[in-house]
Amino acid sequence: MTIPPSANDIQTRQTIVRLLSSMASAKEISQYLKRFSQLDAARFAVVKVGGAVLRDDLDSLTSSLAFLQDVGLTPIVLHGAGPQLDDEFAAAGIEKQTVNGLRVTTPEALAIVRRVFHAQNLRLVEALQRGGARATSIVSGVFEADFLDRATLGLVGEVTRVHLAPIQASLQAGSIPVIASLGETTGGQILNVNADFAASELVQVLQPYKIVFLTGTGGLLDDQGRIIDSINLSTEYTDLMNQPWINGGMRVKIQQVKDLLDKLPPSSSVSITQPSELAKELFTHKGSGTLVRR
């Protein structure tokens, strides 16, 4: 197989070839590489990284993303910071309050949200740079937002417009855009935006070839705690949502993925996996984690 010229370090090339050939045939991997390389950079992949992944799996995440850059591909990364916010709220003695999974955000809480998002963003960018990758920190300028429900949720935003210029600039420089899910109103008020919602808005604008959610669990789990390979929403959605073993978090996730896929072309799919499986998900027919189709 041919590795694009950006993988110019012999050792990196050898590692890549070894890693890939252990997952699937060279022919299979080459097909995907070729397909991805022909796409416009902004159409390759949006990877949403949950805060739990940043906390528990930063090394795998960093090497998986750097690996993509080694083979000449630049994913667009959007991250959350949920568990880190929980910790900081607890440390500040602020009680966590959520409505439908969204964090009620007072002005005092927003100060923490901004600080934590900046810190987590920088943590990932610096880890990528230490791992030899190029990465650009983007904590503002992408998500224009409006108050979602000011009376109930306070300083929480829903995205009204996505500005691609900062992302395009990063991609043109061959640098991985690492985006925090903070929004800003036209009046300049910063708002806390749920990272899955922000990812969904970004994906609707970009319509990338691959949409990947990296989570701590590495996929959606069945009643035995095993990862479900694939879900076809058109035939399985109602049945799945009626299962007693589907827990609250998973119900919300399935609902969010369905809402997202409903707004995308019928051929679209969403992959839910873990960082160490990202290359397998992207470059093999079998994939990894859970593939959700419409």
Return residues touching ligand X2W (CB under 6 A). 50-51, 80-82, 85, 102-103, 156, 181, 192, 194-195
Closest of 121, 138, 112, 129 to residue 51, by C-alpha: 121
d(CA 240, CA 272): 17
Looking at the Cβ atoms of 114 and 134, the one nearer to ligand X2W is 114
Q: Which is nearer to ligand X2W, 71 or 200 (CB)?
A: 200
Distance set, CA 200 to CA 78, 195, 204 (Å):
10, 8, 6
Q: Closer CB to ligand X2W, residue 11 or residue 100? A: 100
Question: Minimum distance from CB of 254 to ligand X2W (Å)?
Answer: 15
Cβ-based nearer residue to ligand X2W, 30 or 140: 140
- Closer residue to ligand X2W, CB minimum distance, 85 or 291: 85
Smallest distance from the beta carbon of 170 to ligand X2W, in angstroms? 21
Please, how many CA atoms are within 13 Å of residue 72, restricted to the half-sphere of its CB?
Answer: 18
Least Å distance, CB 220 to ligand X2W, is: 16
In 3D space, the residue among 51, 71, 181 whose CA is nearest the CA of residue 61 turns out to be: 51
Residues 6+ apart with CB under 8 A from 229: 290, 291
Radius of gyration from C-alpha coordinates of the chain = 19
CB of 24 to ligand X2W, least distance (A): 30
* CB nearer to ligand X2W: pick between 119 and 173: 119
Question: φ, ψ for residue 257 (rounded to 5)?
Answer: -65, -40
Rounded to the nearest whole angstrom, what is the least distance from the CB of residue 80 to ligand X2W in the complex?
Answer: 2
Give residue number: closest CB to ligand X2W: 80
Q: Pick the closer one to ligand X2W by CB: 103 or 280.
A: 103
* CB 25 to ligand X2W: min, Å: 35
Report d(CA 219, CA 129) in Å as an integer: 28
Contact 289, 267 (CB under 8 A): no
Least separation, in Å, of the C-beta of 215 and ligand X2W? 9
> Could you tell me if 182 and 140 are in contact, meaning their C-beta atoms sit under 8 angstroms apart?
yes
Q: Which lies closer to ligand X2W via its Cβ, residue 24 or residue 52?
A: 52
Q: Name the minimum Å distance from CB 40 to ligand X2W.
A: 27
